[in-house]
Amino acid sequence: MRPEHDLANRGVDTVAVDLKDPDGVESVLQLAEAADVFVEGYRPGVAERLGLGPDAVLERNPAVVYARLTGYGQSGPLARTAGHDINYVAQSGALHAMARQGEAPRPPVNLLGDYAGGGTMAAYGIVCAVLEARASGHGQVVDAAMIDGVALLTAKLQGLRAAGLYADEPGTNYLDSGAPFYDTYRCADGRYLAVGALEPDFYREFVSRLGVDVTGWPAQDDRGAWPKLRELIASAIATRTRAQWAEIYAGTDACVTPVLSFDEAAEDPHNRGRRMFQRVGEVLHPSPAPRLAAPPGGARPPGPGTRGLRKWFGPRTPESGCPAETRESDYEGRGFGPPSVPPSRRVIRRPRRAPRRRAAPRHVCRRTPRRRSPGCAARRAGRRRRGRAASRRTATAGAAARRRCSPARTAPATGSAGGSSRPTWSARGRRGRRRR
């Protein structure tokens, strides 16, 4: 696959590392020291043998999130067994439900196991672990198994089964093509129309625009008459082309849409208005989702896919980049970067700079060996302020007492030598002695 065709890794810096070389393993560990997330997709035990297991990585960076994305998980009898999307979906029980009545199960391409149950669930677990690591400072291992993710996506069906509202036989329920008003139908031009008129109001809107007399049709909730109702709907839809039906049901609440191909979806007015697809050269790119009101960063300009990793690997980094015909204007304002170099067996994402750790306080309390907390200074300042206020109140009270107790000179005592006398205080002050 050419680099510009690898859309799943667009905007990702990659570098090939020989993990059987100790220098290569050390380079990866140095890169992990400043990373927030470390992702590996080997079979269980392979990363440990290479020296890149959770213990080795977390020892170098205790706050890193170590994500392990596999098909069958890190434990269980099938943990080391090879498999693909169809195997994981089948193992979870979901593939059994994806069939018409009496027909073989049909796998939904590889969207359910690889991407929905695997990549999406792994990304969700990584985000949860990163938020916890930022709060506690401790990383952890995320065991993301595709069978676990697919099984979780069947939670609604499991609840319906327990309530007796969903049968185990495929193709007999509302959402698995069993209901004639939730299925696809062939039009006069050989193209297909998708009908999803589940609710009674939507169903009435749907049948009212078929252009046929529906007076004698079976009721919507009559399961025994669903096969006959399916034939009636199919015969009515086969009378017009897909474009005609799209025009008839446009702007209604009948829940009817044409089944579009990839190129037709890119040219649809609604999709074009939301810019769901964008062409870069000759390649049709789906736009990033979900849409953020304040997306981080901008478009990645074209250039060597390894430029962000050169400072980590130095001259060992291969000098390979995007095709020469790729222009910077092709990516301006598109919200995503250019295709990077072809992914190797080891894809390492560009790390973020590790946050600077707060230094421990240098001053130590003299009375106790404990380090002062941030509130020590505030408490000392408060004590000083309260002490000064108490001193001012004491001085004011003493002055008032001395004014009330003013000294009085007594008359000279008769018979005293020299006719002199000593002052006599009429009252004792706060701190003074009583003199006579």
Catalytic residue among 85, 114, 183, 330: 114
* Residue 189 appears among annotated catalytic residues: no
Residue 210: partners with Cβ closer than 8 Å, 6 or more residues away: 233, 236, 237
Distance CA 317, CA 323 (A): 18
pLDDT per position as a tens digit, 221-275: 999 999 999 999 999 999 999 999 999 999 999 999 999 999 999 999 999 999 9
Distance CA 103, CA 183 (A): 15
Distance CA 431, CA 378 (A): 34
The two structure tokens encoding residue 387 = 């002490």
User: Which phi and psi angles does 153 have, rounded to 5°?
Assistant: -70, -15
> What is the DSSP code string of 86-119?
HHHHHHHTTGGGSS-TTS-----TTIIIIIIIII
Q: Which range is least confidently modeled, 162-166, 168-172, 368-372?
A: 368-372
Distance CA 148, CA 121 (A): 9
Q: Tokens 């009545």 identify what position?
A: 101
Q: Is 419 left (phi over 0), alpha (psi -120 to 50) or beta?
A: left
pLDDT per position as a tens digit, 101-155: 999 999 999 999 999 999 999 999 999 999 999 999 999 999 999 999 999 999 9
Q: Do 110 and 170 meet the contact criterion of CB atoms below 8 Å apart?
A: no
* Residue 84 appears among annotated catalytic residues: yes
How many CA atoms within 13 Å lie on the side-chain side of 272?
A: 6
Catalytic residue among 21, 23, 84, 222: 84
Q: What is the pTM of this model?
A: 0.70
Quickly state the pLDDT bin for 385 (edges 50, 70, 90). Answer: confident
SS3 23: helix
CB atoms under 10 Å from CB of 325, counted, come to 9
Structure confidence at residue 401 (pLDDT): 61
Structure confidence at residue 342 (pLDDT): 39
Mean pLDDT for 58-68 is 96
Mean pLDDT for 78-86 is 96
Domains of the chain as residue ranges with CATH: 3-170 (3.40.50.10540), 182-259 (3.30.1540.10)
Mean pLDDT for 197-218 is 96
Q: Do 375 and 368 meet the contact criterion of CB atoms below 8 Å apart?
A: no
Q: Which range is least confidently modeled, 240-254, 312-326, 418-432?
A: 312-326
Structure confidence at residue 403 (pLDDT): 62
